[in-house]
């Protein structure tokens, strides 16, 4: 809650690292998040038009992820 002494007890400017993060890191991160959101929205729109294609892509990605997990599990089991 803001009190009467807020303007009197105002802290100094933010530290250099915080200012650097706020000016150099946060804006590109927000832009990247917006681009990902836009891409996901476009993908959802295409999925409504061609559900078979998106199911095929999802299945292929699932198979690739499964193969990767299987290979990593096999490699870690052989090193034990």
Classify residue 56 by its DSSP letter: H
Q: What per-residue confidence (pLDDT) applies to 53?
A: 79
Which residue range forms the structural domain that includes residue 26? Answer: 13-49
Q: Is residue 72 a part of any domain in this protein?
A: yes
pLDDT tens digits, residue range 39-58?
888 888 877 888 787 788 88
- Judge whether 46 and 53 are in contact, CB under 8 Å: yes
pLDDT tens digits, residue range 16-30?
999 999 999 999 999
pLDDT at 80 over 70: no
Phi, psi of 2 (to 5 degrees): -80, 130
- Judge whether 43 and 54 are in contact, CB under 8 Å: yes
Q: Is residue 5 a part of any domain in this protein?
A: no
Rounded to whole angstroms, how far apart are CA atoms 30 and 21? Answer: 12
Domain total in the chain:
2
């Amino acid at each position: 809650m803001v009190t009467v002494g807020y303007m009197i007890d105002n802290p100094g400017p933010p530290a250099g690292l915080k200012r650097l993060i706020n000016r150099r890191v946060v804006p590109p991160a927000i832009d990247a998040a917006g681009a990902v959101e836009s891409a996901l929205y476009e993908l959802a729109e295409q999925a409504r038009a061609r559900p078979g294609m998106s199911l095929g892509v999802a299945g292929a990605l699932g198979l690739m992820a499964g193969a990767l997990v299987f290979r990593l599990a096999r490699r870690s089991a052989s090193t034990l």
